Chain A
Amino acid sequence: MSMTEKAPLLAVRGVKTYYGNIIALKGVDIDVHEGEIVTMIGANGAGKSTLMMTIFGKPQAREGTITYDGRDITRMPTHEIAHLGIAQSPEGRRVFPRMSVFENLQMGASVNNLAYFNEDLEKVCAIFPRLKERLQQRAGTLSGGEQQMLAIARALMSRPRLLLLDEPSLGLAPIVVRQIFDVIREVNRKEGMTVFLVEQNAYHALKLATRAYVMVNGLITMSGSGKELLADPQVKAAYLEGGHH
């Protein structure tokens, strides 16, 4: 590592997370630098979502440290972490079903007290025209893809520096998956937003990634640039067989 390299925006060091006595993360190291799209792939139950949730303080890491922008956030409560400029689109979307799309977006902007609400509303409506049509509709009546768009849009409303996306492609039709990944690429390029993405859909996620990690049973087994991992025979065998090409 050269001395000129900037400190990472998010640094996860030796993090161990337990559910009761069961260990889910067995010492994970991750770096996410400003402006990157970092992807983590792995099978079901590898601990990807646990890592995502540990970064957000629920559950808290029992060992190791998580630093964001030079601050130790390992023991910080979730809602305070959200105020530091990290936003999350959680696994399974978790939109507020009985509230309208508009109100869901308001909730997203609550960390900055709706200070930039109108401006940001226009922005996310431009990114997701589908949501603009459905602003008054209850979020629970949206289709799965629209709910995912809403979850991402809601996360964007807080003007995050770091966007955490947990399986945004889960259960979506291929064409919608492509749309979602296009949006991720767009916010990264246009806004310079840093993205940390957890995915099972390895092919698309790796294509998008600046760098990527592979997680197996709570440990990082491989890392490298997205291209490197896409070409790696082991990755190919384990995560890309059956082909999305």
Chain B
Amino acid sequence: MMMEAPAREPVNFVGLLKDAVFAAAIAFGLFSLMLGLKTDQTLNNQMVLVPRPGLLFTVVGLVFVGRFLIGYWQAINAGKIKKRKAAATPLALKIEKYGTAAFVGFLFVYPMMVLGTAGPSGAIKWIDNFGIQILIYIMLGWGLNIVVGLAGLLDLGYVAFYAVGAYSYALLATSEPVKEFMAGAIGPTFWPLWAFWICLPVAGILAAFWGVLLGFPVLRLRGDYLAIVTLAFGEIIRLVLINWVEFSGGYAGISSIPRPSFFGVPFNATESGFAATFGLEFTPIYRTIFLFYVILILALITAVVSTRLRRLPVGRAWEALREDEIACRSLGINTVNTKLTAFAIGAMFGGFAGAFFAARQGFISPESFVFLESAQILAIVVLGGMGSLLGVVIASILLVGGVELLRELDFLKAYFGDNFDPAQYRMLIFGACMVLMMLWKPRGLISVREPSVFLKEKKAVSSDLVKEGHG
């Protein structure tokens, strides 16, 4: 009899209102003491009760409206048969196709846009905290995606390669012997100006080398065991950096790392500086914008390389390795080399990002390379959907940009008092997001895997059709 249900039943507004009033009443009962009253101290150290009716009624009001909206949404969806999700998935591929070009274009004009709207002093925050910060994580996410998303090797110590890259650059660029040698060989200004451009590839190569070094002992490990060893590896690198003080400066870190130059033209207020050379008025924003473009290009290189690699035999072997190692081996794939290349290439991009990070900060210390960073990068990859480049972008914007946005929510202080700092709640929100994600989209935001080869037309297969644990 359910089959003959009418197209849409009229929504029972009275019932909904009753429901919402009831929920609001419960909320009032619950929160009247918890939020409505606050204990405080007077100057005489006496305890007084401060009533907070505004906060209480705001919360009760939110519950009322929220309950009503949820009820309404349920009511209008009740009669409908849920559309098959498979029909909706190709949309993700469409977005990936057209959206990518538009998004990259947007990124290229983003600094100019911000500069135009916020002015040189206000723009730094938006380009640096949002733009550069997010792009670093996008790049790290794409790098880790090669290891975790494509090759299926769960790496919890990815930040180690980020650290290797950062310290490679920092140590080489500040090293006196290298500076003196370069000064003697080419000229005194050469090394400070060109250090970044020379050390960037070196940092990548060193990180790749460390990737292989990590790869060897873990060749036979999979899943949980691999995760634990990589986690330990990340911690070892950090602890060595802390304790080997003569080498890395320990907790004090390395400071006054040379900033990247505009291919030999420094960003300073001198006559040979960038602003003077190009006839502009000096502001620090030019360096920020330049850094933005550097990381944008680095990130795009990562994306292009990983998409290309996916179509090459080595990329196919990575994916096959993720799916079934035994079958892989019996098809003649050398799983040792395949795993090592995945570790090395993933680590290399981590190293590039690390070198950039050191150059952007001008100061690094082991504090920047804690496990939480690895966890966040991994969260970005998992949240975005393993193997999806677009997913990583969305997840980075949400996670990194979201945290930055929390700092902007000053108006909440009006409700929760002046001591309320929304940024302190970021781990709570982060955790809640992860739980919700795992409930609603267990395979990540973009869970469609695009085949790397096509015969006639692209046809994505929804992840819903593949059994759990294989996605």
B324 interfacial contact with A, CB 8 Å: yes
Are A96 and B329 in touch, CB under 8 angstroms? no
Assembled-state Cα–Cα distance A77/B328 (Å): 13
Indicate with 1 or 0, residue by residue over B367-378, a CB within 8 angstroms of chain A CB atoms. Answer: 000000000000
Assembled-state Cα–Cα distance A77/B322 (Å): 20
Query: How far is the CB of A109 from the nearest CB of chain B, in Å?
Result: 9
Assembled-state Cα–Cα distance A135/B454 (Å): 9
Are B461 and A141 in touch, CB under 8 angstroms? yes
Quick one: given A90-B330, A106-B453, are A98 and B466 in contact (CB under 8 Å)? Answer: yes
Are B465 and A138 in touch, CB under 8 angstroms? yes
Are A83 and B453 in touch, CB under 8 angstroms? no
Q: When the two chains form the complex, which single residue of B332, B451, B461 contacts A83, counting CB atoms closer than 8 Å?
A: B332
A103 interfacial contact with B, CB 8 Å: yes
Are A94 and B327 in touch, CB under 8 angstroms? yes
B58 interfacial contact with A, CB 8 Å: no
Are A103 and B316 in touch, CB under 8 angstroms? yes
- With a cutoff of 8 Å between Cβ atoms, the chain A residues found around residue B323 in the complex are 96-99
Quick one: given A99-B451, A103-B453, A106-B453, are A78 and B320 in contact (CB under 8 Å)? Answer: no
Are B453 and A110 in touch, CB under 8 angstroms? no
Assembled-state Cα–Cα distance A8/B322 (Å): 37
Indicate with 1 or 0, residue by residue over B433-471, a CB within 8 angstroms of chain A CB atoms. Answer: 000000000000000010111110101010001110011
Chain A contact-residue range equals 35 or more
A190 interfacial contact with B, CB 8 Å: no
- With a cutoff of 8 Å between Cβ atoms, the chain A residues found around residue B461 in the complex are 100, 136-138, 141
Query: How far is the CB of A2 from the nearest CB of chain B, in Å?
Result: 35
Assembled-state Cα–Cα distance A156/B246 (Å): 60
- With a cutoff of 8 Å between Cβ atoms, the chain A residues found around residue B256 in the complex are none
Indicate with 1 or 0, residue by residue over B48-84, a CB within 8 angstroms of chain A CB atoms. Answer: 0000000000000000000000000000000000000
Assembled-state Cα–Cα distance A95/B327 (Å): 7
- With a cutoff of 8 Å between Cβ atoms, the chain A residues found around residue B326 in the complex are 58, 90, 94
Query: How far is the CB of A154 from the nearest CB of chain B, in Å?
Result: 7
Quick one: given A94-B324, A138-B465, A141-B461, are A100 and B451 in contact (CB under 8 Å)? Answer: yes
Indicate with 1 or 0, residue by residue over A84-97, a CB within 8 angstroms of chain B CB atoms. Answer: 00011010001111
A158 interfacial contact with B, CB 8 Å: yes
B116 interfacial contact with A, CB 8 Å: no
B361 interfacial contact with A, CB 8 Å: no
Which residues 98-115 of A have a CB within 8 angstroms of B? 98-100, 102-103, 106-108, 110-111, 113-114
B319 interfacial contact with A, CB 8 Å: yes
Assembled-state Cα–Cα distance A220/B452 (Å): 46
Are B452 and A103 in touch, CB under 8 angstroms? yes
Query: How far is the CB of A1 from the nearest CB of chain B, in Å?
Result: 32
The tally of CB-CB contacts under 8 A between chains A and B is: 102
Assembled-state Cα–Cα distance A137/B449 (Å): 11
- With a cutoff of 8 Å between Cβ atoms, the chain A residues found around residue B459 in the complex are 136-137
Closest B-chain residue to A164, C-beta based?
Answer: B330
- With a cutoff of 8 Å between Cβ atoms, the chain B residues found around residue A78 in the complex are 329-330
Are A56 and B330 in touch, CB under 8 angstroms? yes
- With a cutoff of 8 Å between Cβ atoms, the chain B residues found around residue A114 in the complex are 313
Query: How far is the CB of B317 from the nearest CB of chain A, in Å?
Result: 7
Are B320 and A79 in touch, CB under 8 angstroms? no
Are A82 and B467 in touch, CB under 8 angstroms? no
Assembled-state Cα–Cα distance A154/B330 (Å): 11
Are A135 and B455 in touch, CB under 8 angstroms? yes
Assembled-state Cα–Cα distance A106/B313 (Å): 9
A27 interfacial contact with B, CB 8 Å: no
Quick one: given A100-B451, A106-B316, are A141 and B333 in contact (CB under 8 Å)? Answer: no
Are B332 and A110 in touch, CB under 8 angstroms? yes
Query: How far is the CB of B387 from the nearest CB of chain A, in Å?
Result: 8
Assembled-state Cα–Cα distance A58/B328 (Å): 13
Query: How far is the CB of B455 from the nearest CB of chain A, in Å?
Result: 6
Assembled-state Cα–Cα distance A236/B131 (Å): 75
Closest A-chain residue to B463, C-beta based?
Answer: A98
B331 interfacial contact with A, CB 8 Å: yes
Query: How far is the CB of B398 from the nearest CB of chain A, in Å?
Result: 25
Query: How far is the CB of B309 from the nearest CB of chain A, in Å?
Result: 14
Which residues 36-84 of A have a CB within 8 angstroms of B? 56, 58, 77-80, 82-83
- With a cutoff of 8 Å between Cβ atoms, the chain B residues found around residue A138 in the complex are 449, 461, 465-466
A14 interfacial contact with B, CB 8 Å: no
Assembled-state Cα–Cα distance A154/B465 (Å): 22
Query: How far is the CB of A34 from the nearest CB of chain B, in Å?
Result: 21
Closest A-chain residue to B332, C-beta based?
Answer: A82
- With a cutoff of 8 Å between Cβ atoms, the chain A residues found around residue B335 in the complex are 79
- With a cutoff of 8 Å between Cβ atoms, the chain B residues found around residue A87 in the complex are 330-331
Q: List 10 A-B contacts (CB under 8 A).
A: A90-B327, A96-B320, A96-B323, A97-B466, A98-B323, A99-B316, A99-B319, A111-B332, A136-B451, A136-B454
Please name 12 further chain A to chain B contacts, defined as beta carbons within 8 Å, in addition to the given A135-B455, A138-B466, sorted by A numbering.
A78-B330, A82-B330, A82-B332, A90-B327, A99-B319, A100-B461, A102-B451, A103-B316, A107-B316, A111-B332, A140-B465, A140-B466
